[in-house]
Structure 1
Amino acid sequence: MQSSNAYNAYKNNSVNYASKEQLLLMLLDGAVKFSKIGRQAILDKNIAKAHENIIKTQNIFYELIASLDVNRGGEWAKSLVSIYDFIIRRLRDANIKKDIDIMNEIIPLIEEVKDTWNEAYKLSKGAK
């Protein structure tokens, strides 16, 4: 029981003291995880679980769009908004149709976004 409390305290502190970049990576880890759970739930014919996890994934990308400063980020930020918006729309389509093919199409893109941000984070740490 005590180790469980210690883990929860660590987990809470890791979020409370994470940098913006680390929070972004945590969100993207969540997006990958929830999208895969959603895909598996479609396969398992668990409609409620599929819906819940696809919505969680969409909400992460809505948050990512909201956090972008398009004025400062220029064309790069606008491109990200387009990618995030595409992911949201495809997730919506997959959720409405409970379509495994759309999930199989979109999960690699979500993973690619996560990997790109992860690489950018590593490069930014190396540059300091």
Structure 2
Amino acid sequence: MMPNNAYQTYQNNAIKTASGGELTLMLYNGCVKFIKRAIKDIEVKDYENKNKNIQKAQRIIQELMITLDPQVDLSKQIMPLYDYMHHRLTKANIENNKAYLEEVLEYVIEFRETWKQVLQKTRQTSPLEGIK
């Protein structure tokens, strides 16, 4: 029990001290993790866990949708992509379709990699580099 509690404390602290950009990156990482798990669940025909992992990925996509600023033009371009990914996750869940999950996984990884680049550039240009 003790090591699990220590890990949970570490995770909680990481979330509490993360910047908004880092939290977004954590969301993308979680989404990747849950989609990969769902793919494996389909392969071993564990449909109960597949359902749970897809639902977790869907909740993350919904959270990403909520955080978009509708006044920003880029948000207006990203929203339909998030909506599409959410829809594909739903279809993947209903049809046990691994190909749909793999498609969404590619999109999420691409978003994550782009977001990592944005964070790196922001850190390089920030006058308070390295300071939280």
State the match for 1:116 in structure 2: 114
Tell me the CA shift for residue 7 of structure 1: 3.1
Unmatched segments (≥5 aa) in structure 1: none
* TM-score under structure 2 length normalisation: 0.89
Structure 1 stretches of 4+ moved >6 Å: none
Matches within 5 A, 1:5-84: 5-71=5-71, 73-74=72-73, 76-84=74-82
Q: Distance between the aligned counterparts of 1:33 and 1:4, measured in 2? A: 19
Letter in 1 for 2:96: K
State the match for 2:130 in structure 1: none
Tell me the CA shift for residue 63 of structure 1: 0.6
Q: Distance between the aligned counterparts of 2:42 and 2:4, measured in 1? A: 32
State the match for 1:107 in structure 2: 105
Q: Distance between the aligned counterparts of 1:3 and 1:89, measured in 2? A: 38
- Considering fraction of residues, name the structure with more helix: 1
Letter in 2 for 1:104: E
Aligned length: 126
Distance 1:69 1:46, change over 3 A: same
SS at match of 2:45: coil
* TM-score under structure 1 length normalisation: 0.92
* % same residue: 33
Q: CA RMSD in A?
A: 1.3
Tell me the CA shift for residue 57 of structure 1: 0.4
Tell me the CA shift for residue 110 of structure 1: 1.2
Unmatched segments (≥5 aa) in structure 2: 127-132
